[in-house]
Structures are given as C-alpha cells and as structure tokens.
Amino acid sequence: MKTGYLIDMDGVVYRENQLIAGAAEFVQALTATETPFLFLTNNSAPTPEDLVVRLQHLGIHGLSRRHFYTSALNTADFLCEADPHCTVFAVGEGGLLAALNERKIPNDTIRPHYVVIGEGAISMEKLSKAHECIERGARLVATNPDNWCPVTHEKTRPGAGATASFLEASTGRRAYYLGKPNGFMFQQARRKLAGFTGSAPEQVIMIGDTMETDIRGAFEAGMQSYLVLSGSTQFEMVGDYVYQPTRILQSVGDLVEEIKTGKPGNPMYDQPTEPGARRVEHLGIRHQTDIFAFHKPRPRPAMTK
Ligand SMILES: [Mg+2]
C-alpha cells in the first residue's frame, strides 16, 4: 500500500537546535524509498526556504521548499480560497509576510478585510493598529491556535494563539484559527502530497508530538497518527485525551527499518483497529483525581483553544 507521511517538525525532527536521534536516518529512508512526505508545522515565522537551511545545518540535506507546508502558507491558501480579492493587516514575521505576498494578498493598514496574526514580531503599537482595524470592521484570523510553544524541556515562548486572544479580549471579536488541528491544514497537505507523485497515496499518516494539534487534527481528518515521545507529550498524558494516536513511538528513529523494508516494526504501543475495541485501558496512569498535584510542576495553560 502506498503510504504518505505528514511530519511535524519541532519535537519530532529537532528540539531547539538539536537534531532528534534517528531523524536524519528517517528522512534518508523516506527519500531513498521515494516515499511521499511533507513537513507540516504550525510555526508561521519561517519561510519554507528558511526551513530547508535550518535542516541543512542540522545535517539533513536534499530537501527543497516543496517539502514544507507551514501554517502561514495554509492561512494564505485559506484567504485566497475564501475571499480572493481581500486585503490584510498582518502581524507576524517573514514566513507570514512572504506567504501573503506570494499569493498576491495586498497589505492594507487603513481598512483591511482581515487582521492576520502570526508568531513573533509583536509590539503594542502593532497590536493597537490591529485593534483599530478590527474596530473598523476587519475580521480576525490567526495562523495557528498555539498559546505557547516549547523551546526546551523547561522553557516555552508565547504563540500566535496568545496574541490572538489579546485582540479577542480587546475587541470582543472571535478569531478563526488556521494551522493544525484545523481540517483545512490537513486537507491542503493531503492535496500537496498527492501533487508530488501525480496520484494520492492510499493512506496518509501524520507523525507528531502534540496531542492537541497533530493527533487531534489527524483524527478529525480521518487519518492515522503516530505520536512520538521525543517532544511535548509524555506517555502518562496520552490517556487524558478523548482522541488517541494509532501508534506511540519513542521517536521517528523507530520507523527507519520499517520504511526501508516495508515490514511493520515493533512500536511501543499499537492501538487496536477492530471496531468496538477498547482503546485506552492500558495506557498507564491517568491523573483523574489530581491526588499527586503538589508533586507536579507548575500547570501550563492549554496549548490550543
Ligand atoms: Mg511539535
């Protein structure tokens, strides 16, 4: 069966500036076997070209811009489809500005149809301008719903979702969130993947480290999903969610042999696929009562809306 992969980046391929063990071999195996794949990231700051260079520095070569689909590109695709002659006031970095520019969506600081919020490059001056545009009738769109993003195991940074929340509070307008887990991100990614080979893969599998975006989005789009434990999710947390991954792996390194040989490997945990089978009963401790709360680190707000 021809399989295509959608692959999240942060926590799957790298963490901060460190390549995750086995990730280079994994990408090599995909390339060598001509398996279609697409990196799918909610980070709207970099352009696809920036991501090519970033992976080169980490030792992954042979990729081009077509291997990357960011939430900034997804937002530009959405605006083109939903409202082809729209104008925007964008608050974000190069990846977002380039994506809008590529799609020939004009910037308008006076009476835009949309205020578009991405990662980074935020100042009170820009937020005030965005607020004024919304008061004059602009609709609010964000590249992704992430309130915070992991930087290291101990450190996080604010995400586009947090900035959009600021404007939701100040204007009373609700934002529309693109990127994962929005089905439009998965639908477009699937379309791109099919475009690589001229025919759609028979199955598409999402690989990610975040339950709220990668696994939820894949589940809602009717795709299989593999959760890797090399990023933001620990094994004990999985049972807290109503949607579950198809498989749980330590890292993408676990898939190298499987992709090379075409034979299923030995995943850490496989979800039963038979209809009606119980899916989460042996997934470890679920902290339903919070009895150990005082041993836990400071609780973080939800990663997405
Ligand atoms: Mg991630």
As to burial, measured by CB atoms within 10 angstroms (0-12 exposed, 13-18 middle, 19+ buried), residue 156 is middle
Residue 10 C-alpha to ligand 1 middle, in angstroms?
4
Tell me if 202 is assigned to some domain.
Answer: yes
Instruction: Give domain status of residue 282, yes or no.
Output: no
153 Cα to the center of ligand 1, angstroms: 12
Q: Kindly state whether residues 173 and 191 are assigned to the same domain.
A: no
Is residue 77 part of the annotated active site? The answer reads: no
**123-130, long-range: CB < 8 A, 24+ apart:** 126/91, 127/91, 127/163, 127/166, 127/167, 127/170, 129/89, 130/89, 130/91, 130/167
What is the pTM (predicted TM-score) of this model? 0.87
Say whether both 88 and 168 belong to one domain: yes
Distance 15 CA to ligand 1 centre (A): 9
Within-domain flag for 289? no
Write down which residue in 177, 196, 220 finishes a domain.
177
Q: What is the pLDDT of residue 281?
A: 40
48: in domain? no
Q: How many domains in the chain?
A: 2
Q: Does the residue 55 lie in any domain? A: no
Task: Tell whether 185 and 173 lie within a shared domain.
Answer: no
* Cα of 45 from ligand 1 centre, angstroms: 15
Q: What 3-state class would DSSP assign to 189?
A: helix
In the block, residue with structure tokens 């086995």: 22
Range of the domain at 206: 3-42+181-270
Instruction: Please check whether residues 24 and 83 belong to one and the same domain.
Output: no
**Is residue 33 located within the same domain as residue 92?**
no
**Distance in Å, CA 297 to ligand 1 centroid:** 21
User: So what's the pLDDT on residue 8?
Assistant: 98
Residue 300 lies in a domain: no
The pair of structure tokens assigned to 75 is 């937002």
| Strand order across the beta sheet in which 68-70 lies | 68-70, 37-41, 3-7, 203-208, 224-228, 247-249, 269-270
Confirm whether 209 is a catalytic residue. no
Instruction: Let me know whether 195 and 262 are in one domain.
Output: yes
Give domain status of residue 118, yes or no.
yes
Ligand 1 centre and the CA of 170: distance in Å? 29
CATH number at residue 220: 3.40.50.1000
CA angle 39, 40, 44 (to 5 degrees): 120
7 alpha carbon to ligand 1 midpoint, in Å?
9
Among candidates 208, 214, 257, which has minimal Cα distance to 231? 208
Strands (E) located in 135-180 = 139-142, 148-150, 156-158, 176-177
* CA 113 to ligand 1 centroid distance, Å: 31
- Specify whether 81 is located in the same domain as 171: yes
Task: Give pLDDT, residue 205.
Answer: 97
Q: Is 106 left (phi over 0), alpha (psi -120 to 50) or beta?
A: beta
pLDDT tens-place values along the chain, 305 residues long: 789 999 999 999 999 889 999 999 999 999 999 999 999 999 999 999 999 999 999 999 999 999 999 999 999 999 999 999 999 999 999 999 999 999 999 999 999 999 999 998 789 999 999 999 999 999 999 999 999 887 777 788 899 999 999 999 999 999 999 999 999 999 999 999 988 777 778 899 999 999 999 999 999 999 999 999 999 899 999 999 999 999 999 999 999 999 999 887 765 555 545 554 444 443 333 332 233 333 445 667 777 77
Residues 205 and 161 in one domain: no
- 298 falls within a domain: no
Query: Could you give the CA distance from residue 70 to residue 65 in angstroms, rounded to a whole number?
Result: 11
Domain match, 207 and 149 both: no
137 and 205 belong to one structural domain: no
In this structure, are 160 and 207 located in the same domain? no
Going through the chain in order, the beta strands assigned E by DSSP cover 3-7, 14-15, 18-19, 37-41, 68-70, 88-91, 114-117, 139-142, 148-150, 156-158, 176-177, 203-208, 224-228, 247-249, 269-270
